[in-house]
């Protein structure tokens, strides 16, 4: 059974960079034609797609965040990562990592999420 687990600091200062990793177990990131993505949920708000990455490093980002987001993949660690620069309080959210099967429009496996608070 595929499992994903987010990890990273729970508190980030304003203007700094938020960095999270997602460890995949139960399958190799580069063994299937899937994309791997990040989604967030701000307090009291709905879900927001941040971006996705193929195992070859090809990325797709939400235009609203594109200038601040980098998603990368490390096949040797079976992980993919999120970097969000110049964070503000508006970036305080529950961050999820998930798998998007190739040619699909849905995320079929998700991590439990990790709460990141932006505060000084």
Residues that bind other proteins (CB under 8 A): 4, 39, 45-49, 51-52, 60-63, 96, 98, 100, 104-113
For residues 80 and 72, the answer to whether their CB atoms sit within 8 Å is: yes
CB of 77 to other proteins, least distance (A): 21
Q: Which of 77, 106, 107 is nearest to 7 (CA)?
A: 77
CB of 45 to other proteins, least distance (A): 7
Q: In this complex, which beta carbon is closest to other proteins, that of residue 16 or of residue 48?
A: 48
Q: Are strands 34-41 and 47-54 parallel, antiparallel or unpaired?
A: antiparallel
CB of 16 to other proteins, least distance (A): 26
């Amino acid at each position: 059974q595929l499992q994903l687990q987010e990890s990273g600091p729970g508190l980030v200062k304003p203007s700094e960079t938020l960095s999270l990793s997602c460890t995949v177990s139960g399958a190799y990131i580069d063994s299937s034609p899937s994309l791997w993505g990040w989604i967030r949920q701000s307090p009291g708000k709905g879900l927001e797609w941040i971006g996705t990455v193929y195992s070859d490093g090809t990325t797709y980002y939400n235009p609203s965040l594109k200038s601040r987001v980098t998603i990368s993949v490390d096949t040797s660690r079976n992980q993919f990562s999120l970097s969000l620069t110049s964070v503000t309080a508006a970036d305080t959210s529950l961050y999820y990592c998930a798998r998007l099967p190739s040619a699909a429009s849905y995320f079929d496996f998700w991590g439990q999420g990790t709460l990141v608070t932006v505060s000084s």
